[in-house]
Amino acid sequence: MADILNTAFYIFHCKRITLPHYGNAAMQKLTFAPMNMDSSTRQQRVVIIGGGAAGFFCAVNAARLNPNLKVILLEKTSKLLSKVRVSGGGRCNVTHACFEVSNLVKKYPRGDRFLKKSFHLFNTNHCIEWFVQRGVTLKTEVDGRMFSITDTSQTIIDCLLKEANHYKVEVMMNREVKSIEQRAGVINDSFDGEGNAGFDIQLLNGEVLIADYVTVACGGYPKTAMFNWLTRLGHTVQAPVPSLFTFNMPCNPITALMGVVAENARVKITGTKLEEQGPLLITHWGMSGPAILKLSAWGARVLAETNYHFTIVINWLGGQNEQALREEWPKLRLKHATQKIGNRNPFGLPARLWSYLLLQSEINEDIRWAELPAKQQNKLLANLTAQPFEVNGKTTFKEEFVTCGGISLNEVDGQTMQSKLVPNIFFAGEILDVDGVTGGFNFQHAWTSGWIAAQTIADKSMATTAIVA
């Protein structure tokens, strides 16, 4: 740990930090060379707050792009890249096979206009290339999600740790930031030649770090009050609410089908225009899966206003509405006339779901198609194409928690990630009021914003070094 001197700088001694829980022996330790500093060298320093995807990507790229820049990464816990580790069932959904910027921005319920500028600088294509250049090959699954071919998030973690080690990024664990204060300075004695004297970063443990540049990449917060250390810089915050959550349906008989997946369900929230189609997973507490998670993202604020009590209508057949099904029904009855309805499911639905729908429609599974009474037939038609469910609550997962809300985008330059209010303060990742639907889009924003912040800081710090010299 660095000793605080009476001068404006720290002297960082050569040290080795052991990273817990990471299996690859080659990546177990990050080693940092000693750094000699005096007033004549004025080595530029960036402090990056947050050891997640955005923070790490900013750190390793800033260090790579300007080898003379001192890069310090702060993580408030004892774990690095925790979301990278658990996402995608432990495989890390790195990005999504969506290669046109115009299509990519449509996957973000909030921040699409802001991201249009950012994605022209670093998008899915750049992300794939970046990892490939470092020996990590990605594969695309049927639904467009992209993973390492090793099917383990450890590959992504090892890649980032290796980069951090190679470029001598200083990693400081268990360091939570209390405040960022602008330093009072004189132009002739400033770090950047423009009158910006840098920042004092106060940590909860009493330490104070001095930085020329700061990147805030600490992830989202669930409560507005937790942003206070940033609003004191003059920034405003869009109130955070959960995004990407599952729907709770306590005591609903559908939960008996836990584990069943309807591959192409269409889900609509009544009283709104919100509607999504895709795989739907029935759980022991309600419903999840891509269709539900995407709907929760697009409806994050609307659903928060209902206190998560609302009604959804499910079309288990996807695009086929009740009228179209009614017109097709006589052909189905004739084709399967002699067969028991419980044994003949012409819609490709999971067997347990089909039995459930028959039960909900008061249909005996042993009845033959030709004998199906009109009343029960009409109930089945309605349940197949527009079955209502009451939602009472939500479930979020701490490890993969995503928020809607954060630092207001009109106060940040999407082409540099720099604050428009405080020069040399940068933002990356979920701390911004940007969130994507499920499928790798939030990680793509993390890589993009981290890379752009790193590029801008590297350029500014090299220009400043030239001025000072």
The DSSP secondary structure of 110-179, one letter per residue, reads B-HHHHHHHHTTS-HHHHHHHHHTTT--EEE-TTSEEEETT--THHHHHHHHHHHHHTT-EEE-S--EEE
Q: Name beta bridge partners: 280.
A: 262
> 199-206 long-range CB contacts below 8 Å, 24 or more apart?
199/47, 199/424, 199/425, 201/47, 201/49, 201/74, 201/177, 202/177, 202/178, 203/74, 203/175, 203/176, 203/177, 203/178, 204/176, 204/177, 204/178, 205/174, 205/175, 205/176
70-74 β-sheet, strand order = 170-172, 70-74, 45-49, 213-216, 425-427
Reported confidence tier of residue 187, pLDDT bands at 50, 70, 90: very low
Place of tokens 């004892």: 78
Q: CB neighbours (10 Å) of residue 232?
A: 11
Q: In the chain, where are the structural domains located? A: 3-241+400-468, 245-395
Residue pLDDT, tens place only, 42-52: 689 999 999 99
Q: How far apart are CA 83 and CA 25, in angstroms?
A: 21
Q: How far apart are CA 326 and CA 126, in angstroms?
A: 49
According to DSSP, residue 184 is labeled P
Q: How far apart are CA 399 and CA 79, in angstroms?
A: 12
Q: Name beta bridge partners: 261.
A: 281
> What percent of the chain has a predicted confidence (pLDDT) above 70?
86
Residue-level pLDDT at 333: 95
Residue-level pLDDT at 433: 98
Helix (H) or strand (E) run with residue 282 in it: strand 275-282
Which residues are within 8 A (CB) of 320 and not within 5 positions of it... i.e. 6 or more apart?
385
Reported confidence tier of residue 245, pLDDT bands at 50, 70, 90: very high
| CATH fold of 3-241+400-468 | FAD/NAD(P)-binding domain (3.50.50)
- Indicate the range of 16-30, 150-164, 363-377 predicted with least confidence: 16-30
Answer yes or no: is pLDDT of 315 > 50: yes
Q: How far apart are CA 132 and CA 444, in angstroms?
A: 15
Tokens standing for 416? 């540099």
Q: How far apart are CA 26 and CA 417, in angstroms?
A: 33
Reported confidence tier of residue 415, pLDDT bands at 50, 70, 90: very high
Tokens standing for 422? 């405080």
Helix (H) or strand (E) run with residue 267 in it: strand 261-269
